[in-house]
Amino acid sequence: MLNNLLISIITVNYNNVDGLETTIKSVQNQDFINFEHIIIDGNSIDGSKELIEANKASFSYWISEPDKGIYHAMNKGIKVAKGDYLFFLNSGDDLTDSQALTRVKIHLNEYDIVYFNINDVGLNETRVKKCPEVLTFAFLHEDLPPHQSTFIKKSLFEKIGYYDERLKIVSDWKFLILALCKFNATYKYIDDVFSNFYRGGLSSLEENFEIVKAERTSVLNTEFSIQMNDLKYKFKLERILRNLRKSKKMQILIKLGLINKF
């Protein structure tokens, strides 16, 4: 385990004063104290700056100025962070309880990436979104452990580079799939929950699904063309298998015991 491990919590905000207040209070209530809280605000005009000013003693660094988007803001936080591990808890999301970081800290050691499950909170229900223990390219090509439940060594950003600011929605996904599949970053899964994600962010809005798809496709075709050839073949075989299972002839042969169910 790292001695005197420091966690950098980076919170990005733009005109979400109520959500920002929830996030700040959640961090302030932690019984674990060896962390820094960094606030990157995009020159909000809804009272966020005043809230930040009122709580500035709680922050190691804060700034409120125009930015070029969420990943530009997150990169600002990475640049000034001093922690061994970085954790992005953006405005509106929060930690489950006051012992959350204490539970997390014991798992942060030599691994480049440490990720947990997350509470996925909707209007009418809350469910635990579980992450796979073993990450595969098939999983990562369309999903990732949520950034609200993932700790990343700062040294990994220094090795790979920061978030791609040309992308509007999936740059955190691009960073993780590059880290894991091209740079062989080490990782560890913890089957526990310590944070809450509230639906309504950019990637969870239906009107942005096409942008997400287009950005992911561009990254995959540019960075992983050979792997995508294998994956496309896998998907083709799966479609054939599904069609065979639906075939009336196959169902009859299975009922007659001539072939085994597959």
- CATH code where residue 95 lies: 3.90.550.10
**Same domain, yes or no: 62 and 99:** yes
Question: Domain for residue 187, yes or no?
Answer: yes
Question: Domain for residue 76, yes or no?
Answer: yes
User: What's the pTM?
Assistant: 0.85
Question: Domain for residue 45, yes or no?
Answer: yes
DSSP 133: S
Q: pLDDT digit of tens for each residue in the chain (262 aa)? A: 456 899 999 999 999 999 999 999 999 999 999 999 999 999 999 999 999 999 999 999 999 999 999 999 999 999 999 999 999 999 999 999 999 999 999 999 899 999 999 999 887 888 999 999 999 988 998 889 998 999 999 999 999 999 999 999 999 999 999 999 999 999 999 999 999 998 765 555 566 788 988 999 899 889 887 676 666 656 565 665 666 677 776 676 667 666 676 5
Residue corresponding to tokens 């960073």: 175
Contact of 195 with 118, CB cutoff 8 Å: yes
Question: Domain for residue 156, yes or no?
Answer: yes
**Same domain, yes or no: 217 and 231:** no
Question: Domain for residue 15, yes or no?
Answer: yes
Domain count for the chain: 2
Question: Domain for residue 2, yes or no?
Answer: no
**Same domain, yes or no: 206 and 179:** yes
CB-side neighbour CA atoms (13 Å) of 237: 6
Q: Which domain holds residue 118?
A: 7-223
DSSP 32: -
